Structure 1
Amino acid sequence: MTVFEQLTWQRVGPDKQSPLSSLQATMVLLRLLMILLALVVSDLHSLPWFINVSEREGPGTILQSFSFNCSSHMPTLELVNVQPPTTFFNPPSLTRWQGIYVGKVTLSSSARLDALAVNHYELRLRYTCGNIVMEGPLFVDVQRDSGHIQCIGRFASSGGETIQVPETVKPGARLYTLLLPGLEVQGTQMNIISAQDPPYFPGPFSINEQGWLRAPSQGLKGQAQKIFQLQISVSLGQGQSCQRMLVVKILPAPSSQVSFLQKAQNVTIPEDKIPGSKVVQVQARGFNLRYEIFSPMPSPLYSIGSVDGVVQTTMPLELAHTRGAAITRLQVKAFERFQPWASAELDLTVNVLSVNHWPPLCIPALLVTQIPETTPVGTVLNTITCTDPDSVGATLNYQLWFHSSPGLASLCLRDRVLEVLGSHSQAHL
């Protein structure tokens, strides 16, 4: 208050005060205001903040802490919004400690960080101290942890995940693949830890380290309408584990049959088709069918309409530039929309033929000559040389086209050599 009173006195003092004194008083006032602002928002000058956090971190983890000085008011610290929207972050806490307010941003009880799903968040923070309001972003980058197992998705829900399987699946068939971040690490162990006792279970289901769940070796025939609950445990050592429920519902054999008229089909197309061009339309017999290419997956050169079964090109097929485009073997599946286990498969082979964009170039391009009718048979008139601009070094076939009746032919072409044959007439090469 002493400084304010002095400055006030200087400003309302005698008129004889020099201009220099007024300037000095103004400078002191500005410096004081800057100091006060710095004291009030001592940490906000460093905005924005950038922090890295491992996806291994869980609820309660402190992401960022900072201090504020607000001596004359009750300050507030708010989380204005989060992008992308999520509930993973608690509203900031603000506590007083030795005359200084300390704010903290922590992970909430619902936090399940996954760098493969979202690896960057922006938190907008607002600090208020009396009439002073400051806003700034806190950028949170989620770092991938290859050794961390996460139970996420439907598998992580309280009821686990439910799959439907027809009773007609083959014994030992793959029914389901468990995909969780961290499973690519060597040494991952998976086991079914729930009981699979007969007579309810026809035999044990099994799961390997790749997450493949397989049907019992006895098959599932006659198990329609049954529900099998499998408790699956995933562990990586070092105390990391994940246990969830997988529910397998057995459905009766599909009432309708899906089939292709033929098991294999071959089509041939030119290489000059543009992307989006129709290759062929495959059709299967069945009700409310959908189509998909399941091998190769993904399919780089071709796509299929899920409803109409029309196979189209997805990129240029020029053989000189597109490796492996000459022959492509596709496996197409047709299945019922609401009963995907009712399906049929088709092997589709697409052959791509090269297309000449330019005609052969010949030397000479035009031969005009006159010969006397007494020219001996076998006289060589010219040797033709042609090349293919689309395929240098390619073998070419030569043929003589006559303008007059072939019976009056007087010339012949032996390979590339033009010779006199007999009575003379006009010819064209």
Structure 2
Amino acid sequence: MAKRPFWRTLYFQVLVGIALGVLTGWAAPALGASLKPVGDAFIKLVKMIITPVIFLTVTTGIAGMSDLKAFGRVGAKAMAYFLTFSTLALAVGLLVANLVRPGEGLNVDPAALDQGAVASYVSKAHEQTITGFLLAIIPDTFFSAFTSGQILQVLFVAILTGIALALLGERGERVLGTFRVLTALVFRIVHMLMYAAPIGAFGAMAYTIGAYGIGTLANLAALVATFYATSLLFVLVVLGLVARAAGFSIFALIRYLKEELLLVLGTSSSESAMPLLMEKLERAGCPKPIVGLVVPTGYSFNLDGTNIYMSLAALFIAQATNTPLTLGDQLLLMAVAILSSKGAAGVTGSGFIVLAATLSVLPTVPVAGMALILGVDRFMSECRSLTNFIGNAVATIVVARWERAVDVGRLRAALEGRFGELEEAESDALQIDGKGEER
């Protein structure tokens, strides 16, 4: 199989788009800020296709399973994983914030802060409740799930459809065959949309640099640097150990997903690479039903980067405003954050909204202090998205390994960059089998 020239790979093209976006935003801030619709358009294109990707992947995966009890077992294991590592991410953020103390010495008077700047986020946060979140999983009608843009609603309908098809037996085979053809069609559309990825990354990055300016990082460099370092520590050490225990390397996984990670970095949205992540995990040997369940659910429940951000940002505000927090206050903060992060799942700008929801419950930390980090939140959004993305990739492989459902040879070949050789060997084997049948 001939290797494509590097300049034709998505990785290189997105990298060029990001670099040109940074340069444009820095050299011509007004022009860069005006390019926001370019990045937004690409993200809308991807979100347009996410609903059919999730529905078809989950439905065909469940309908093709011989044991429906296994599906419930996978869901339980996934939720246990999400809860464990979301809590651990919050704890890591609190620990680092107490050790580094990035907000110490700023001596900000909360009364002098512009509360109006964060008022809209606070109002959105008050709208999010656990009960409301759970009820929102059920769509108003069967078909409204496909137009609402809510991932969990689509997942809910897909699970019901997949189970119903499985229970129909032979009568459901014809519908299942049609869905499989539609799945191939939808993923072909995904690949077509990826031709616009470099342009989308260019527009999004030009807007970020042009609108906010690299100079805004100087004032809060300690917070941003601490957040990036903590996220890197969590990915390489915590998720690295989890990956090693599951029999694969976190570095190999990052290399395997490098194109998707660059896309997330450029667009500041992990959703922009969700369809590609699902496809790549399947190609690496993870079963379709597990990928279809764990990845979309993880996008709402497994937000490692967002959790690290919440605990770090909350303690930064407390330190900057000289607000003392006892160990009990910090444990309460973590407990509230665990719940509020689920209540605001799937909301645009959820990281900042979840932080507002958490601080609203804790009267000790002034919510107005969020105005301090509003200017650099966009720069931390990229890191949140990257960490969430890697966390969900690891979670999917780990759950699949727990189920002993991973093709280990295929996984190693994919992560070691030998996937082309494996595909050639499989193709040759199929040809030999075909000739044998003809004879």
TM > 0.5 fold call = no
Higher relative contact order (CA 8 A, sep 6+): 2
TM-score, length of structure 1 as denominator length: 0.18
Larger radius of gyration: 1
User: TM-score w.r.t. structure 2 length?
Assistant: 0.18
Structure having the higher strand fraction is 1
